[in-house]
Amino acid sequence: MLWTRTCSFLGLAAGVCASHSQTVLGSSFSDNNTAKFPEAPANDGLFTPLESLAYVREDTFTTLGHPLFPNYSVRIKKSDFCDETVGAYTGYIDIEAHHIFFYFFESRSDPDKDDVIFWTNGGPGCSSSLGLLMELGPCRVVEPGEPKHHPESWNSNANVFFIDQPIGVGFSYADYGEYVGTTEDAAKDVAAFVSIFFENFSQFKGRAFHMAGESYGGRYLPVFAAAVYDNNAVLVKGGATPVNLTSVMIGNGITDPFTLILSYYDMVCTAASVPPVFDIETCVYMKKTLPRCQKWLKAACEDQFDTINCAAAASFCQSVFSESFFELTDLNPYDISKPCDGPISETLCYPQTKYIANYLSDPKTRALLGVDPAVPANFTSCSASVSSEFSITQDSLHPSKDYVGALLERGIRVLIYVGTYDWICNWVGNNRWTLELDWTYKAEYNDAELRDWTVDGKKAGITRSTNGLTFATIDAAGHMVPFDKPKESLELVSRWLAGKEL
């Protein structure tokens, strides 16, 4: 989720619980109940993959490593969490003093053959537990209490990861106060984790791999996917199997922030989504300011990045096109069709976020997940400190659209999907940057038919597609498409994984 202002969630006081295991080369097992599990490999100095998730235990972590990434390891445990019908796992990516938490759910359909999806939420600084427990995961916490089964989860026909990244987000932590402040640094850790996972669990080797997420994920994912793609050369050189990166799926993303800033005019002063919500005088002022911001942002931020001048341009243009939204309306910036439900600084306009924070602050939940005792007792869905670190480096002022073009040139498919009611990462801006994207098939993409796509015979949105790039809207959905339109979002993803047109 993209932050509009400094936002955080405060859970209830809770304790934490975790278990530990003894590391042995590529795999590890605790000394408890070893008769039920294979013997640990002999310490012969060679890397030994675990090969199958069937060897992962519930009572303790199994630790995985890789010789190509000596400073990285993964702790993973089986967890009776969220979806009892499938194998569910939780754990940490350990990068020396950095520890990144993840959830993994096997497919409800055919886990031995189905694709693998990696999911990250945005922020920067927001936990992917929001995506898991509110949007596309196998269970939801949309009211106080325990999770409820979600029949339209994306693990209906895919194996799905949810990751709390970078360090400091959700259940992730650092030993000595380290932090990550750029998408490029975060990408290194993600690429290494992906490599370790596929190399250790040979049951997934060669499986189609899709990297997905939303909001600030539009900045993250193109860079993360590029790191995974480029890292394949290292794997091949080291005698390992390359990751079968197949596609990137970005929902309501901030891939080109400058186009998005200027598209706020369309969202509040035209009927691009709902009838105009701003008064005429304000809209006229915004329209007159558009050419100035277009010219200034291009010169200071894109043609040649100037730290001070780009920050000044972004600050001025945001004051005109963004801040007025909060001053003149009480609407939900993530769903412009309705008012904000609760203080945005506490709930991001969705009370469900507080229910999730309370649930993940419960000591019983933490014991079930294996949360490390180093993690603070009160779960925070979005970290203000992580957001601040990314703000200091001006990470959001660096578009990721050129990474999208480079991925397309290498045969990696890209899906840009957007809910029509979202204001903050709206469909107008996302449509524009895909049309302006500089790549081999730009002309063919621009000439492609913009047509309706349907679910059960009813219009679900509009779409344009050619040569691997697809843009699609989801009618009457906000920023979190799977939350608002679970049936349509699952159909969208299912068709995408199958390589079908929408």
Looking at residue 256, its pLDDT comes to 97
Contacts of 386 (CB under 8 A, 6+ apart): 123, 124, 125, 166, 168, 169, 179, 180
CATH code for the part of the protein at 23-258+398-436+471-497: 3.40.50.1820
Rounded average pLDDT over 410-421: 98
Is residue 256 annotated as part of the catalytic site, yes or no? no
Backbone angles phi, psi at 390, to 5 degrees: -70, -30
What residues does each domain of the chain span?
Answer: 23-258+398-436+471-497
Active-site residue identified among 195, 479, 484, 489: 479
Q: Give Dmax (Cα) for the chain.
A: 76
Please name the helix (run of DSSP H) or strand (run of DSSP E) that holds residue 48, with its range, or none. none
Range in 136-140, 197-201, 338-342, 494-498 with the lowest mean pLDDT: 197-201
Is residue 215 annotated as part of the catalytic site, yes or no? yes
pTM: 0.89
pLDDT in tens, 214-262: 999 999 999 999 999 999 999 999 888 999 999 999 999 999 999 999 9
Looking at residue 68, its pLDDT comes to 79
The token pair that represents 441 in the structure block: 């098939």
Active-site residue identified among 115, 189, 266, 422: 422
Contacts of 326 (CB under 8 A, 6+ apart): 4, 5, 333
Q: Which residue has the tokens 């558009």?
A: 290
pLDDT in tens, 391-400: 999 999 999 9
Rounded average pLDDT over 401-409: 98
Q: Is 56 left (phi over 0), alpha (psi -120 to 50) or beta?
A: beta
Looking at residue 430, its pLDDT comes to 98
Looking at residue 15, its pLDDT comes to 25
SS3 356: helix
Is residue 479 annotated as part of the catalytic site, yes or no? yes
Active-site residue identified among 215, 273, 383, 400: 215
What integer best gives the mean pLDDT of the chain? 88
